[in-house]
Structure 1
Amino acid sequence: MIDLMRQTSARVDDPLLGASTAYVRTEVFFATRTHQAGLRALEGEIDNLRARSDASSMYTGVLGSLHMRAAVVAARGGQVAEALSHHDEARRLGGLIPEGVYYGTAFGPDSVRIHEVSLAVSLGDRHLRAALEIGDTWAPPPGMPAERRSGFYIELARARLWAGMRDAAFDALRTARRIAPQHTREHRWVREDVETLLRLHRAGSDELCGFADWLALT
């Protein structure tokens, strides 16, 4: 699918489609934990788009989504300054357009807020407080794609678990499942976090054990 998108963008000379392909392709770098290579690929696409500056909302949305994803991949790779710089630019661009789907990728102020939680979790330590505060005061609006809303609660669950907030972490996982069951069930972090909760609650609750059964962990 990614190769087809790349070939199509080359044939039609559509830099926005090429950039959108790079956004999707970053999943490969996440999965293989080759974060520096992923960041280089995203920054290359960002430079390509900047060379073709455009005032349209579509251009802004695609460019912003690249910065948003670059912030997270940089954070996963331990490149704090780069992560914060890309996040700042994503937040600036997100303030220029309404929340929407641009070339297949959701972007806007709400998407940036969701990725801020992901960024905080990726950076860890003193940055976790930002994720916890967002989770306490804000929730993704229902109109956003279900998978992105579910992802917000999966990231929030991890932040809460690391902060020792076990019950609140499980609450977030249940919310994620309610929003997008398949996405939640297949997410590696969900399985890891439920396994951790089971170890911490040696006499696990019926609901926690049921959740583990649903994940086929027991």
Structure 2
Amino acid sequence: MLSAAIVTYDVPEDGPVRPLRQLRTAVAEAARWRVAAQYTRIVRALPDLLTELARAYHAAPAQDRAELAGLLVRAYRSADAVAYKFGAQDLSARLVELMRWAVPETGDPVLAASVAYVRTETFFAARAHTAGLRELERALDATPAPVAASSIAARGALHMRAAVIAGRAHDTDAAAHHLDEARTLADQVPEGVYCGTAFGPDSVNIHEVSVAVSLGDEHVGRALEIASEWKPPKDLPGERRSGFYIELARAQLWTGLAHEAFESLKVARHIAPQHTREHPWVREDAAKLRRLKRADSESLTNFAEWCAAI
């Protein structure tokens, strides 16, 4: 079980340990599952992998400990994706703390920035948006100079995250500032997954939609404007693409476009069914749509039952 792997992080059970190259491959595969929103695969593989990595880390010679600590951080992040998406907030917070425990051993400031990015989940869950924004801004101060692609993406990802949480805090100026900074950095690198986080011009477009929805009111129209001119390309990770359509559906629903909102939710489901099914906004919006669109009650009811909205 995942909880057992977490609680025994410093006293793992005895057992076999694969060579380092195989552990690297297993951790990279779990990260690919995460960005593709393939959570069932993570649930099946990660408890044993986390235990094995902890065993390897505590038994490793000094020259291997930094790399193994980095593998632990990345694997904890993949496990956290499942905990957070499925609403296990206490478990998610514990995994974030384990990431923070392991990352200093790596000596990798880019990986530390990715942990700060993930830690923001705990502030979202607690609705402590202003505190979360402060913490991200502190993390930005600690990131390396944006010279290499990895450091540019690390800094840009933090700005994207800061823009969204500033939107949740209804700090329009901060949201605009961080979004502008993210876009400036995104123009310097190709879209891709850097240290486990998708970043680039397309990811910034998606976050601009998220910021508009977070700010609400007169800002929601910006989300519709972006969607009328641009759609996320198919080579973006499934979790990120489905998130765009979930956010867009909320903006459409708020502006009276019920039919379009339902279509967006169906697109999100097609792209990443596990991510869509477990998203709380999907449940809320499906339930509301079912009340509004009685002419489509059968298809909406089927969708609402699928995502446990009813």
Name the stretch that deviates more: 179-188 or 202-211: 202-211
Give, in whole Å, the separation in 2 of the partners of 1:54 and 1:76: 27
Instruction: State the partner residue of 2:280.
Output: 188
Give, in whole Å, the separation in 1 of the partners of 2:123 and 2:295: 38
* 1:209 Cα deviation from its structure 2 partner: 1.1
* 1:203 Cα deviation from its structure 2 partner: 4.9
Q: Are the structure 2 counterparts of residues 54 and 173 from structure 1 closer, same or farther at C-alpha, using a change threshold of 3 Å?
A: closer
Instruction: State the partner residue of 1:11.
Output: 105
Instruction: State the partner residue of 1:168.
Output: 260
Aligned with residue 157 of structure 2, among 31, 56, 65: 65
* 1:31 Cα deviation from its structure 2 partner: 1.3
What is the percent sequence identity of the aligned residues?
57
* 1:205 Cα deviation from its structure 2 partner: 2.6
Give, in whole Å, the separation in 2 of the partners of 1:78 and 1:216: 30
Name the stretch that deviates more: 133-142 or 5-14: 5-14
Instruction: State the partner residue of 2:132.
Output: 38
| Residues 51-77 of structure 1: CA deviation (Å, up to 9, x unaligned) | x32410000000000000000001101
Instruction: State the partner residue of 1:127.
Output: 219
Is 1:20 matched with 2:103? Answer: no
Q: What is the DSSP-based 3-state SS (H/G/I as helix, E as strand, rest coil) of the residue aligned with 1:205?
A: helix
TM-score by length of structure 1 reads: 0.95
CA contact (8 A) 2:186 2:201 kept: yes
User: 1:38 is aligned with what amino acid?
Assistant: G
Q: What is the DSSP-based 3-state SS (H/G/I as helix, E as strand, rest coil) of the residue aligned with 2:198?
A: strand
Q: CA RMSD in A?
A: 1.2
CA contact (8 A) 1:72 1:119 kept: yes
CA contact (8 A) 1:2 1:24 kept: yes
Q: Unaligned regions of 5+ residues in structure 2, if any?
A: 1-94
CA contact (8 A) 2:283 2:308 kept: no
Instruction: State the partner residue of 2:240.
Output: 148
CA contact (8 A) 1:5 1:17 kept: no
Aligned with residue 181 of structure 2, among 85, 89, 107: 89
CA contact (8 A) 1:74 1:80 kept: yes
User: 1:55 is aligned with what amino acid?
Assistant: V
* 1:204 Cα deviation from its structure 2 partner: 4.2
Give, in whole Å, the separation in 2 of the partners of 1:59 and 1:186: 32
CA contact (8 A) 2:258 2:293 kept: no
Give, in whole Å, the separation in 2 of the partners of 1:151 and 1:24: 16
Q: Unaligned regions of 5+ residues in structure 1, if any?
A: none
CA contact (8 A) 1:100 1:106 kept: yes
1:109-124 equivalences under 5 Å are 109-124=201-216
TM-score by length of structure 2 reads: 0.68
Larger radius of gyration: 2
Q: What is the DSSP-based 3-state SS (H/G/I as helix, E as strand, rest coil) of the residue aligned with 1:101?
A: strand
CA contact (8 A) 1:95 1:108 kept: yes
User: 2:164 is aligned with what amino acid?
Assistant: V
| Residues 12-55 of structure 1: CA deviation (Å, up to 9, x unaligned) | 22111111001111111111111011111110010111xx3241
| Residues 98-117 of structure 1: CA deviation (Å, up to 9, x unaligned) | 00111100000000000010
| Residues 134-161 of structure 1: CA deviation (Å, up to 9, x unaligned) | 1122111111110100000000000000
CA contact (8 A) 2:284 2:309 kept: no
User: 1:94 is aligned with what amino acid?
Assistant: A
